[in-house]
């Protein structure tokens, strides 16, 4: 009995410590592997979140820049449309029919030269061509460029086309001069108000307030 008990104790002393050490060792190895996996997953999640945040910030910055450019284009073209339209509407023109061909002269006594410099220059340089086209019942059209300044800063040039029909109505199409897609455009219509004598001949004409219309890309 004693031997048996002694053998049993000896066996326990040899086996149990070894088994426990092996179990503890395996547990330590398993826990280290799990920690590495958790750390990798954590860093992967952080990388994904960081990538999403950077992408969102980049998209937002680009959207802000695009919106600012569109606002600037709207301001520039709108200012040009208002300037040109107002100048034409402030004019009063007399028709000198002393010669048979007829000619258009600007009545400077009733037109503010300072506030209508562009429109006056247009009629002085293009008046005879407009009148010739009118005599043939055809519209007259020519290109134009408007240069604006905001204080000391120059804005983008505005390109346009002026069309004067046989009734002397003026229509102006405007867009940024360096724009390739026509993303923002405006049209200006200035209606003619003619005055006739008793014989039905046109003696003078003026213009109503301009009607400015915004046009979408590709709009007619």
Residues in a beta bridge with 161: 143, 173
Question: What is the per-residue pLDDT for 12?
Answer: 45
Question: What is the per-residue pLDDT for 43?
Answer: 81
User: For the segment 188-203, what is each residue's pLDDT rounded down to a tens digit?
Assistant: 999 999 988 888 888 8
Mean pLDDT score, 207-216: 86
The per-residue pLDDT of the chain, averaged, comes to 75
Dist. CA 187–CA 162, nearest whole Å: 10
Q: Is the pTM of this model over 0.85?
A: no
Confidence grade of residue 100 (pLDDT, cut at 50, 70, 90): very low
Domain boundary assignment for the chain: 64-216
User: For the segment 9-34, what is each residue's pLDDT rounded down to a tens digit?
Assistant: 443 444 454 455 555 455 545 555 67
Burial label, 185 (beta-carbon count in 10 A; 0-12, 13-18, 19+): buried
For the chain, give the number of residues.
220
Dist. CA 128–CA 216, nearest whole Å: 34
Question: What is the per-residue pLDDT for 78?
Answer: 85
Mean pLDDT score, 52-68: 72
Which has the higher per-residue pLDDT, 133 or 35?
Answer: 133
Look up residue 116 and give its two tokens: 């209508």
pLDDT tops 80 at residue 96: no
User: For the segment 104-153, what is each residue's pLDDT rounded down to a tens digit?
Assistant: 666 666 666 677 888 888 888 888 888 888 888 899 999 988 877 665 55
Q: How far, CA to CA in Å, does 34 sit from each of 37, 41, 46?
A: 5, 11, 18
Q: Which residues of 153-173 are buried (b: 16+ CB within 10 A; e: fewer)?
A: eebbebbbebebbeebbbbbb
Dist. CA 46–CA 58, nearest whole Å: 18
């Amino acid at each position: 009995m004693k031997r048996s008990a002694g053998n049993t104790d000896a066996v326990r002393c040899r086996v149990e410590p070894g088994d426990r050490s092996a179990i503890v060792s395996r547990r330590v190895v398993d826990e280290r592997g799990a920690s590495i996996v958790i750390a990798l997953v954590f860093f992967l999640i952080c990388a994904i979140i960081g990538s999403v945040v950077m992408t969102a910030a980049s998209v937002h910055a680009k959207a802000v820049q695009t919106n600012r450019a569109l606002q600037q284009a709207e301001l520039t073209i709108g200012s040009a449309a208002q300037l040109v339209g107002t100048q034409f509407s402030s004019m009063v023109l007399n028709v000198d029919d002393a010669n048979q061909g007829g000619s258009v002269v600007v009545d400077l006594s009733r037109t503010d030269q300072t506030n209508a410099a562009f429109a006056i220059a247009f009629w002085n340089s293009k008046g005879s061509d407009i009148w010739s086209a009118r005599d043939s019942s055809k519209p007259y059209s020519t290109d134009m460029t408007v240069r604006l300044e905001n204080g000391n800063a120059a804005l983008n040039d505005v390109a346009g086309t002026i069309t004067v029909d046989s009734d002397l109505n003026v229509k102006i199409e405007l867009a940024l001069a360096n724009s390739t897609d026509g993303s923002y455009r405006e049209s200006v219509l200035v209606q003619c108000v003619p005055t006739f004598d008793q014989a039905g001949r046109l003696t003078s004409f003026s213009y109503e307030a301009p009607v400015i219309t915004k046009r979408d890309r590709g709009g007619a």
